[in-house]
Structure 1
Amino acid sequence: MLRQIHLKIYYRFLELISLFRIKEDTSESSLKKCFIYFDYEREFSGHETNISNLDIEYLLDHLDQVKIKTTWFTVGKVIEKYPETLSKIAEKGHEVGSHTYAHVSPKVMDRSTMETDFTNFDSVKFNNKLNVEGFHSPNGQWNISMFNFLIKNKFIYDVIYLPYKGKKISPMKFTFFKQYPIVRLVTVGDDWPLYGAEKSRVEVFEYFKALYDKTKIGDTFGIGFHPWILYSSTEILLGYKDFLSYLTQQKDVIIKPALFFSNAIKNQLVEK
């Protein structure tokens, strides 16, 4: 409990002194801008999982059906063990991002361990001929040292969670003595609160819809999923599918991979 309080204080302090909104200059200002992402961890999540390659193919086929391209933040060890699924993700036009090599948050790594983790992921990425430019830290935990490795390994964006509570949701930049040329996209939430909650299909749908409904026209935001959580309950999987179908019927949103939005704004980073 005490450690959680310290973490909240740490991140709140960094947010107050170092995060600044990027003023977006896009033609989609009259739309919501949403990226759907997956944290693809399998057994390296730290939880008991039981999903197969066929399960991943099923999710990809469904994304084809609803015509949504997404971002898959993938653990390096998953790429090593299940390279065929990563090939299918890329072949179907989805973006592959990094979820670290060993699914360990940079917040709890010392500098040497962090360097090894980034180096190992870069090697796996190269060996599997994957283009990776986005990063999402496990548990959303990050620290200042992480930015040096993001830049060294040519990442252009990462994804963070910020509880905006009604404020405009926009990409951020991080400035701490110097400005880091990393776009920080914001997620409004994921499926984690549903795990083990025994929600019905309708309740699962309403949970995801509530995440979407708290966003406004002009906002840029992500909504996240874990394949192993989706398959932990038939009701979660069905509610997830209902939500994606609902999302594609909305006229006020553009749905693209996270890299699409990052590329659109990365040149707007300027020194404050």
Structure 2
Amino acid sequence: MKAPERKQRLAVAAGDANPLAYVISQNDAETLAMVQAALETRRLRLAFQPVVLAADPDKVAFYEGFIRVLDVTGRVIPARDFMGAIETQELGRLIDCAALEMGLSTLARQTDIRLAINMSARSIGYPRWMKTLKRGLQLSPTIGERLILEITESSAMLVPELVMAFMDDLQREGIAFALDDFGAGFTAFRHLKDFFFDIIKIDGQFIRGIHRDRDNQVLTAALAQIARQFDMFTVAESVETVEDAEYLRSVGIDCLQGYLFGAPTASPGFAIDAKDGQRTG
């Protein structure tokens, strides 16, 4: 038995540790091992979800790429089962690197799409992530202007000054930035005016059922007004019904994303059929 495991078991036996905390710790350790193994064997995929124009939902503004980790049987392991455990670990940085690498490769192959890739503010300054970005930008001269980096509101608020400097450097390369889950992380407005995000994605908790929820209508209108004040493009997340989509369009939201327009899929609509050159999906 390894020393850390022996120490944990002795602590539980002696009553010095909360048994529930021990179980959670063990589950986290198993999760980390599972994700590590998936990284080492490249059992990773990107799933793509369309973000459509509110004024014309048949037109895709860009796609968002979601990292998918597979177990040994090929089953997708939900991100909620591991993201919390790896977020503060180096493993989280490696997942960000893998997602970026796959996203850049997709942009190199598909030269007529824009793609958003998620990253944590904790990956800013991580040498491997920056090397992955620089290498990927060299694949095609248009990749930078078609890449969108999404940073969650809560993540951005961890190190706002560092995020601002990071964004300023990469926006010079043509890269756009989206503030994900806007409204969920309580961004300090004194920072928001300095961030210069290109896109604001309004958190789904305000969007689901909005056509019949007056409180969420008021909150979403306020968030959208803030975005417009700072010349930021607005995206409503988690759009699931026609009624919600119609309401959001009526109040001037720019883009819509959600299951109403397509679930994340490894076989997205931008795939080209080699036989007849037509789009599939």
* Bin for the TM-score computed over the shorter chain: 0.3 to 0.5
TM norm structure 2: 0.43
Highest RCO, 1 vs 2 (Cα 8 Å, sep ≥ 6): 1
Question: Whose radius of gyration is greater, 1 or 2?
Answer: 2
